[in-house]
Amino acid sequence: MARYLCMAIFFLLLAPGRSMAFTAHQVTTEARIAFEQILDLWRAEDLERLYERLDHPAAWGWDYFAERMVYASRVPACCWEKLQDVSVAARDADYVVINAKVGFEVEGVGTRFVTRDFHLRRIDGIWKLPMNDVLTLSKYNFQRIPRKIYQRTP
């Protein structure tokens, strides 16, 4: 009898671990896909949709973001150069850290790679990257000719 009781307790303790592992796997997969989508929006210069996928302070509104992005000197690379050596760690159901090597196309230079941690949060069901990460990695420079003048559609 004691033997069956021990086995029952063992399986009860094991079951939540399995469901938590599945949830962590699901969270990391969703976050990685969302991160790739963010890079694709950025590369396509779809600033409207990219802005919706960024976590930004209230003081940094659309105008602040768009003004800097038109002066960006680099965008994410395409295809296999876009994302390499990816590892995703789920901190909880709505927060992950992605360590990745991201390729950026630099005008007149070619592709340059940056390896770093990216902290994504799920806010209202949408995985978001901090706006500061995009602005910093875009290497905006007000002395260069803008990529294009971008007017927000109403």
How far CA 34 is from CA of 80, 141, 149, in Å, comes to 17, 27, 27
- Global pTM? 0.79
| Residue 76 CB coordination number (10 Å) | 23
Segment 64-83, tens digit of pLDDT: 998 888 888 899 999 989 99
Query: What pLDDT is stored for residue 59 in this prediction?
Result: 87
Taking 70 as the pLDDT cut, the residues of the chain under it are 1-22, 142-154
Query: What pLDDT is stored for residue 145 in this prediction?
Result: 63
